[in-house]
């Protein structure tokens, strides 16, 4: 017997395994809704248009058409209509936006998530493997690995003097405080002016992201992953004024991570 045969059999069983839970379906609805809101705001205010070219100019009709496609396909995905088709269209449109108009990591991330969610109901031919009403389990596993890898990678990338000296947090918080009148509590506003304080926050942030990534890849415990995700993204939104990506990531952690099953009560004597 070939040594590759057992591995191939395990791979086939992994592909055929069914997921009787509703975590992926809930995440699909939440994730798609978040990005539909983003695309509606982006389309209305032209944020991507202004970001890619510094000076004011007429809108590129190709980008407008692409954003309309993103809104329509994202809405269909959120509603669970034609999941495979709408997911593939959303993934392709988001990737096109990233490659052709604005090379933003958030767009590449969303494209990969859309591609995985397109297969959440069984892919283009669900009848071929729909032995029950359950969905393919590999989609949830792939999403958890993707999110865990992102946290580990971003945490490791922060382990450098440019981040750990606190300068980036100092600049970002002072910009929001001075230019935008960001309503930090007075004590916190004073603390942000200290590079030593900012350096300590930088260290905690990097360590927390690595810890969250490892927790996700280890599949738990859920309470630790949830606490880290809420803390990381609430703080990140506070100091960067970036909201859609953090909310997307937090939703993935809170909805996809497996929860510990309650132990059955011991039989009464």
pLDDT value of position 67: 95
Question: Which long-range CB contacts under 8 A does 164-170 form with residues at least 24 apart?
Answer: 164/199, 164/202, 164/203, 164/206, 165/195, 165/199, 165/202, 166/195, 166/196, 166/197, 166/198, 166/199, 166/200, 166/201, 166/202, 167/195, 167/198, 168/202, 169/198, 169/201, 169/202, 169/239, 170/195, 170/198
**Class of residue 110 by CB neighbours under 10 A (exposed 0-12, middle 13-18, buried 19+):** buried
pLDDT value of position 14: 62
Q: 């100092």: which residue's tokens?
A: 170
163-217, pLDDT tens digit by residue?
A: 999 999 999 998 888 888 888 888 888 888 999 999 999 999 999 999 999 999 9
Q: Are residues 149 and 127 in the same domain?
A: no
Number of structural domains the chain divides into:
2
Q: Are residues 37 and 120 in the same domain?
A: yes
29-76, pLDDT tens digit by residue?
A: 999 999 999 999 999 888 888 877 777 778 889 999 999 999 999 999
Out of 112, 135, 158, a domain closes at 135
Is residue 265 situated within a structural domain? no
Is residue 30 situated within a structural domain? yes
Q: Are residues 78 and 179 in the same domain?
A: no
Q: Are residues 130 and 189 in the same domain?
A: no
Q: The pTM is what?
A: 0.87
Out of 101, 135, 169, a domain closes at 135
Q: Which residue has the higher pLDDT, 11 or 243?
A: 243
Percent of the chain exceeding pLDDT 90 equals 58
Q: Are residues 96 and 175 in the same domain?
A: no
Q: 């990381």: which residue's tokens?
A: 232
Is residue 254 situated within a structural domain? yes
134-152, pLDDT tens digit by residue?
A: 688 899 999 999 999 999 9
Q: Are residues 117 and 28 in the same domain?
A: yes
Is residue 6 situated within a structural domain? no
Is residue 242 situated within a structural domain? yes
Q: Which domain holds residue 195?
A: 144-260
Is residue 86 situated within a structural domain? yes
Q: Are residues 70 and 151 in the same domain?
A: no
The arithmetic mean of pLDDT across residues 2-6, rounded, is 63
pLDDT value of position 269: 47
Is residue 131 situated within a structural domain? yes
Is residue 218 situated within a structural domain? yes
Q: Are residues 69 and 127 in the same domain?
A: yes
Out of 111, 135, 159, a domain closes at 135
The arithmetic mean of pLDDT across residues 107-134, rounded, is 76
Q: Are residues 158 and 108 in the same domain?
A: no
- pLDDT bucket at 129, cuts 50 / 70 / 90: very low
Q: Are residues 121 and 170 in the same domain?
A: no
Q: Are residues 83 and 168 in the same domain?
A: no
What does the alpha-carbon distance between residue 74 and residue 259 come to, in Å, rounded to a whole number?
28
215-225, pLDDT tens digit by residue?
A: 999 998 999 99
Q: Which residue has the higher pLDDT, 11 or 258?
A: 258
262 pLDDT more than 60:
no
Q: Are residues 110 and 40 in the same domain?
A: yes
């Amino acid at each position: 017997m070939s040594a590759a045969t057992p591995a191939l059999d395990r791979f086939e069983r992994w592909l055929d395994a069914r997921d009787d839970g509703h975590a992926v379906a809930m995440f699909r609805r939440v994730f798609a809704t978040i990005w539909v809101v983003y695309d509606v705001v982006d389309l209305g205010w032209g944020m991507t248009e202004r970001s890619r070219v510094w000076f004011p100019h007429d809108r590129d009709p190709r980008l407008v058409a692409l954003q309309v496609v993103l809104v329509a396909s994202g809405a269909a995905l959120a509603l669970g209509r034609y999941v495979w088709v709408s997911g593939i269209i959303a993934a392709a449109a988001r990737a096109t936006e990233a490659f052709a108009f604005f090379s933003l990591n958030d767009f590449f991330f969303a494209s990969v998530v859309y591609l995985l969610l397109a297969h959440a109901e069984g892919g283009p031919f669900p009848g071929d493997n729909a032995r029950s009403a359950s969905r393919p389990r590999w989609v949830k596993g792939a999403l958890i690995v993707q999110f865990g890898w992102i946290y580990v990678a971003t945490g490791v990338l922060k382990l450098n003097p440019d981040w750990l000296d606190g300068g980036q947090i100092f600049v970002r918080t002072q910009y929001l405080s001075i230019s935008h009148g960001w309503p930090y509590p007075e004590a916190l506003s004073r603390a942000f002016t200290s590079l030593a304080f900012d350096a300590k926050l930088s260290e905690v942030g990097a360590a927390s992201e690595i810890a969250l990534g490892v927790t996700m890849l280890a599949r738990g415990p859920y309470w630790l992953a949830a606490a880290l995700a809420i803390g990381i993204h609430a703080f990140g939104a506070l100091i960067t004024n970036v909201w859609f990506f953090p909310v997307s990531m937090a939703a993935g952690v809170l909805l996809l991570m497996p929860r510990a099953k309650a132990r059955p009560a011991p039989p009464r004597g």
